[in-house]
Structure 1
Amino acid sequence: MKEINGKTLKVGTYNNTPLSGSFRENGSIVGLGVAFIVMDILSERFNFTYEIVEPKKNYELGGKTPEDSLIGLLNSSKIDMAAALIPTLLAYREKVSFSIDLDEGVWVMMLKRPKESAAGSGLLAPFNSFVWYLVLAAVLTFAPCITFFTRLRNKMIADDEGVLPLKPSFWFVYSAFLKQGTSLSPEANTTRVLFVTWWLFMILLSAFYTANLTAFLTLSKFTLAIEYPRDLYSKNYRWISAAGSSVEYTVKTEGEDLYYLSTMVANGRAKFLTVRNDLGFLDSVKRGAVLVKEQTVVDHLMYNDYISKKDVEESDRCTYVLAPNAFMKKQRAFAYPMGSQLKSLFDPTLTQIFQSGILEFLKRKDLPSTKICPLDLQSKDRKLRNSDLIMTYMVMGVGSGIAVAIFAAEIVFKRYISVKIHKDKKTKKTSRQSKKSRDYDDTRPPPYDSLFGKNSKFNVEDTRKKMINGREYYVFEMGSGGQRLIPVRAPSSFLYRSDK
């Protein structure tokens, strides 16, 4: 205390507002931020003044010369201490001496608020991809199951119920999937249980789907595509951070947990920018990049951006949003040159400041008590957008395309393939044609030729009349050898007039 009493210390810092920073006033550099509030407490208690020294490139570590970074200034003993919350990384500990841990730094990922939820489009949102795959598998496999069980039952039990072919079974499954009826009427109890099982399955599935779809379309809660650092790598998102920072060191150092992100630096998807003011990052974020920075810094960026948009509608003022999980967490502290006696002198006072919660208060004192621009904006007047219904347009397009493809296949089959088959069977068909004219399906209306003969024109004037049970009839000789009685005066007789 006697050695520094009345002396002037050289204190280094770098711009990382609101934690630390500086500005020029009347030709001298003035410190600001949380770090210099703590420095003022130390200065008053130990009766010393300080002179602020800034690194040339606003780096924590790096650069070609020691003057480019804060750690370089400390390691070369060109400053007495660093008034900044510096992460206590292993590479830093090899070059400088740290004070007690003052807080735990949390690095977060800030991105532009998306217009659409990452849960998917409106129609697919109620279920995740795995559930949709299982539903598709059920639709494709249940029809063969019905055909298989009915065939197996028909072989083991002799009764009147036959085998349900695959085609009608598939159309039953498809129509029930769309909550429609069916013309199939199973008689066996086994087949009826299969039908009821599928109907119950579709009733429950549609109930869950409808409820979840309603919730998705009416709530404003968003799901971000970026939740963890690994999402940056797996989804190949562009992201940025400060050059010469602890993030750059952690990503580029082999053996660190986030070293796998170094490949993104190599291919240009991750960049470390040199900026004097954190506002310089916002242009890149607006173009779709993800900013990785300390949470306190990001909170102030988001809040200041929100306050600046006074003439904008409330729903559009929250431009940015934070990922729900942290990028990384590191302990932070003040730093001194190796062997400095200031550590043992200042640590008891810094311990009291830390334990009293002054640092946590100072970091949040200019921010509101509520969460800034949360993921869920609690909006109750959400209207459906075109993006919510994009899947309906896709269904219409795909369905129309399939119908056109089937139509083209039918034309090819009936005009080319079936014609060739009919030519091969033409001789056989001619020999059996007279027999087929008499044998027809009783469940269908009789053909015209079986009643009046082929190419015959019925004329009432050429027939004879006959009285039967007091009613007059025309007697018409049919081509098959029988007679046809047609009432003369009944209103239905006009149906048989060729001129009508």
Structure 2
Amino acid sequence: MATGIELIISTICNATFCEPVYDNPVLESHTSSNLHQYRDLIKELNGKHLKIGTYNNRPFSWVERGENGTLIGNGVSFVLVDILQKRFNFTYEVVVPQKNFEMGGAKPEDSLIGLVNNGQVDMAAAFLPKLTRFHEKVSFSYDLDEGIWVMMLKRPKESAAGSGLLAPFNSAVWYLILVAVLSYGPCITLLTKLRSRLVPDGEKYIPMSPSFWFVYGAFIKQGTNLAPDANTTRVLFTTWWIFIILLSAFYTANLTAFLTLSKFTLDIENPQDLYKKNYRWVSAEGGAVQYVVSSPNEVLYYLSRMISTGRAEFRSMTSLYDYLPLVNGGAVLVEERVGIDELMYGDYLRKAREGVAETDRCTYVIAPNFFMKKLRGFAYPKNSKLTGVFDSVLSYVLQAGIVDFLEHRDLPSTKICPLDLQSKDRQLLNSDLLMTYMIMFTGLAAAIAVFIGEVIVKRYIIKDSKSNKLKRKKTKFQKNPRFYNYDDSRPPPYDSIFGRSPKIKVNAATKTKIINGREYLVIDAANGDTRLIPVRTPSAFLYRLDR
């Protein structure tokens, strides 16, 4: 049994240039005849010249032209090719498709899969997704990684949570609250009217208008002049008050949390949002996204309807940076996660060199949920002998974590421009108080409309005629009958409590008297009573003095 150090050395040697040493699982899995055939393939591959196809897909693969005009492959794919080259001692030349497509085009030379399918290259050194349509044309290598396609969009200035005043509750809660406010008033009127008929104790029912204003007043924590005596009505009032108290407590707590620890949210969070909200989005032409969306067997096939309406576009660009003008114009870019990370990181560094403020460098943001996931690997022609030979080495490289390291070696360890920038201060914006402005203007408009309605109704529809007023007749038991028509909710008139003050004549002989430090006029009334009238106090104006 090999030790741990021996296993590490065996892994490195099997993936590079050493002969099989210690225990080799790949060789042990072969039978004696297959092992002989495997060794023959290694000898046949020794010194052979291969044509390796690739395409521009940073950071996994891209091509540069050398001094003598030859194409030089770069990226993670060609680091793996160099490992295979040292292990099996072959030479190669790089071939690229004419249109930088993964699949498709008018002729096979337009795409990488077309080159492999027609045998124009011996293998494709690129991270190609293992789609069903690709399996029909080529053979794939050992799984190198799982590609994650994400959605990148321009960072919005405001959170999709909306106005600060509406943030504590979602739309469904606000609608239910509105229904409760509009329906509870009629419920009070209905139940009190039903009670007044079934329980004839003299208490009248509460009409619709007072019920509505009680519900509305309690909703904004105002008092009421209604004083029901019946227990049924009191329970109705108490129920509504308890509901408002709890609702206000939840709203206040959530509003405080939103304004202090607000989480930034996007309008686009998953592929369904692209379709439901009809967002314009773009991706690479001839890529995996185009064929996944166009395939009826895929889950994302429903997005193909957006292609016919022009809301989804597939464009061929030489670099991901060419998509930025479209993203700045409001489009959503759908691409592989590592490529998007390098794009955002490069844009961040460029703005840092230009002296852009720290808070303005993260122009773009990635949606929290992925667009799709697909396993990826190298591609070979059907029935190619290279598959089994190269997979034995690629499996060791993958298990050692080399592929994952190569993919992220040029990226920082921290998350690039996260959704929540974790700003230390949270200042209120106009967007947070937008609802207050709307309420103010809506209230003013409603008051003006009610005022106009009252003027029209009272001046032109209801004609006040003196002839229609009831004339009260005097009786022989009343010399000066008085009728006081006033609202019970207001303080009663002074005369209704103390009676009408007799006419009091004040002359130079009128005496003054100080009682408890306050000056009073001592007046002899016509009926023989003596009155004390405070002098130079507000209550003195209640008396009518005839000078």
- CA deviations 1:389-448 (Å, max 9, x no partner) are 1111111111111111101110010011111xx45xx65536x34469946247664999
User: Distance in 1 between the 2:254 and 2:262 partners?
Assistant: 14
Pick aligned residue for 2:81 from 35, 39, 45 = 39
- The answer to which of 365-374 and 394-403 deviates more is 365-374
Partner of 1:318: 362
1:11 lines up with 2:60 in the alignment: no
User: Distance in 1 between the 2:225 and 2:533 partners?
Assistant: 41
The 3-state SS of whatever aligns with 2:63 is strand
1:252 lines up with 2:297 in the alignment: no
- CA deviations 1:170-218 (Å, max 9, x no partner) are 1111111111111222222222222222111111111110111111112
User: Distance in 2 between the 1:439 and 1:11 partners?
Assistant: 112
Q: Is the 8 A contact 2:185 2:208 kept in 1?
A: yes
- CA deviations 1:80-129 (Å, max 9, x no partner) are 11000101111111111111221111111111111111111111110001
Partner of 2:411: 367
Q: 1:86 to 1:445 in 2, by over 3 A?
A: same
User: Distance in 2 between the 1:19 and 1:211 partners?
Assistant: 49
1:51 lines up with 2:102 in the alignment: no
Pick aligned residue for 2:483 from 420, 437, 440 = 440
Q: 1:158 to 1:344 in 2, by over 3 A?
A: same
Pick aligned residue for 1:190 from 232, 241, 261 = 232
The 3-state SS of whatever aligns with 1:227 is coil
The 3-state SS of whatever aligns with 1:2 is helix
User: Distance in 2 between the 1:241 and 1:89 partners?
Assistant: 17
> Percent identity at matched positions?
57
- CA deviations 1:311-366 (Å, max 9, x no partner) are 22222222111111111111111001122211122111112122222111111112
Q: How many residues align?
A: 471
Q: Is the 8 A contact 2:504 2:544 kept in 1?
A: no
- CA deviations 1:345-388 (Å, max 9, x no partner) are 21111121222221111111121222221112221212111111
> What stretches of structure 1 move > 3 A for 4+ residues in a row?
426-430, 432-439, 441-448, 458-461, 470-475, 484-498
Q: 1:65 to 1:438 in 2, by over 3 A?
A: same
Partner of 1:349: 393
User: Distance in 2 between the 1:93 and 1:277 partners?
Assistant: 27
User: Distance in 2 between the 1:65 and 1:397 partners?
Assistant: 64
Q: How does 1:190-269 map to 2 (within 5 A)?
A: 190-269=232-311
Q: 1:84 to 1:489 in 2, by over 3 A?
A: closer
Pick aligned residue for 2:458 from 414, 423, 437 = 414
1:387 lines up with 2:431 in the alignment: yes
Q: How does 1:88-237 map to 2 (within 5 A)?
A: 88-237=130-279
User: Distance in 1 between the 2:523 and 2:278 partners?
Assistant: 92
Pick aligned residue for 1:25 from 66, 77, 96 = 66
Partner of 2:442: 398
User: Distance in 2 between the 1:355 and 1:494 partners?
Assistant: 100
AA matched with 1:170:
F
Q: 1:220 to 1:302 in 2, by over 3 A?
A: farther
1:429 lines up with 2:469 in the alignment: yes
Q: Is the 8 A contact 1:220 1:378 kept in 2?
A: no
The 3-state SS of whatever aligns with 1:386 is coil
AA matched with 1:429:
K
The 3-state SS of whatever aligns with 1:196 is helix
Q: 1:123 to 1:494 in 2, by over 3 A?
A: closer
- CA deviations 1:211-267 (Å, max 9, x no partner) are 111111122421111111010000011111000001001112223211111111111
How much is the aligned-residue C-alpha RMSD, in angstroms? 2.7
Q: Is the 8 A contact 2:523 2:530 kept in 1?
A: no
The 3-state SS of whatever aligns with 2:264 is coil
Q: Is the 8 A contact 1:125 1:216 kept in 2?
A: yes
- The answer to which of 321-330 and 352-361 deviates more is 352-361
AA matched with 1:98:
F
Q: 1:343 to 1:428 in 2, by over 3 A?
A: closer
Q: 1:489 to 1:19 in 2, by over 3 A?
A: closer
State the shift of 1:153 in Å.
2.2
User: Distance in 2 between the 1:490 and 1:440 partners?
Assistant: 29
- CA deviations 1:118-172 (Å, max 9, x no partner) are 1111111100011001111111111122222222222222334322222112111
Q: TM-score, normalised by structure 1?
A: 0.88
User: Distance in 2 between the 1:63 and 1:372 partners?
Assistant: 35
Pick aligned residue for 2:344 from 287, 302, 314 = 302
Q: Which runs of 5+ in 2 are unaligned?
A: 1-41, 487-491, 507-521
The 3-state SS of whatever aligns with 2:200 is coil
User: Distance in 2 between the 1:494 and 1:316 partners?
Assistant: 69
User: Distance in 2 between the 1:193 and 1:143 partners?
Assistant: 14
Q: 1:65 to 1:40 in 2, by over 3 A?
A: same
1:279 lines up with 2:321 in the alignment: yes
1:74 lines up with 2:132 in the alignment: no
AA matched with 1:298:
I
User: Distance in 2 between the 1:359 and 1:347 partners?
Assistant: 14
